[in-house]
A and B are shown apart, each in its own frame.
Chain A
Amino acid sequence: QQQVKQSPQSLIVQKGGISIINCAYENTAFDYFPWYQQFPGKGPALLIAIRPDVSEKKEGRFTISFNKSAKQFSLHIMDSQPGDSATYFCAATINSGGYQKVTFGIGTKLQVIP
């Protein structure tokens, strides 16, 4: 059962455009929603994260929008650059007995073309 559904699986955006990746979850016990960026051959790196009591968080060109009632959240990359080309994973976390159990989405491969 895929607890975090992510779409699209691949995305091509022109340089300067807006990249939008959407995620939805079922388990209301999730209490933290990070996005990870992964370049080929590298480990995932935390990009930006949000708690469910906040509707939006912005860090530079990256914004998370969070809709608690709809159980959906999305990543917007403004002014997308070729260097943003990577795989993006949304995730949802439960703090379980002292550790963070992370459920990842399937990932979105973003390609930003010049």
Chain B
Amino acid sequence: DAMVIQNPRYQVTQFGKPVTLSCSQTLNHNVMYWYQQKSSQAPKLLFHYYDKDFNNEADTPDNFQSRRPNTSFCFLDIRSPGLGDAAMYLCATSRVGAGNSYEQYFGPGTRLTVT
């Protein structure tokens, strides 16, 4: 089945130690998004890639970076995680083009713990 895959599902890192979260998709969608979701809150968009074009949300801290080496993969890098960065990180994809699909397809998320 076509899907959005996130690895790892659970990640524990130390305060200040860089961490990378991974997302891959078999949907061949041209847009990939990263969201942060804290407990009992709605997902908050951090940034997205439209093909190779990176688009950062205005309020996303500089501590968060992203890479998209090819259509299928996208990475979230947290350069110096703080305790406040502990959250669920969600990757999503969507397809843009003729006959626009408005749906975003979410992965299962990576639960990040910062100790």
Contact = CB atoms under 8 A, between A and B. Distances in A.
Contact of A45 (B31, B45, B48, B106): B106
Nearest to B110: A43
A78 interface: no
A102 B105 CA distance: 12
Q: What interface size band does chain B fall in?
A: 20 to 34
A42 B109 contact: yes
Interface stretch (B11-19, B66-74, B75-83, B94-102): B94-102
A104 interface: yes
Contact of A100 (B42, B104, B109): B104
Contacts, number: 59
Interface in A25-77: 32, 34, 36, 41-46, 49
A45 B90 CA distance: 12
Contacts of B96: 98-100
B103 interface: yes
A102 B41 CA distance: 15
A107 B106 contact: no
Given A43-B106, A100-B96, 7 more contacts: A34-B103, A36-B106, A42-B108, A43-B90, A43-B108, A100-B102, A101-B45
Interface of B: 4, 6, 31, 33, 40-43, 45, 48, 50, 55, 90, 92, 94, 96, 100, 102-109, 111
30 contacts: A32-B102, A34-B102, A41-B109, A41-B111, A42-B108, A42-B109, A43-B4, A43-B6, A43-B92, A43-B106, A43-B107, A44-B43, A44-B90, A46-B103, A46-B104, A46-B105, A49-B103, A89-B43, A98-B50, A99-B33, A99-B48, A99-B94, A100-B31, A100-B102, A100-B104, A101-B45, A102-B104, A104-B43, A106-B42, A109-B40
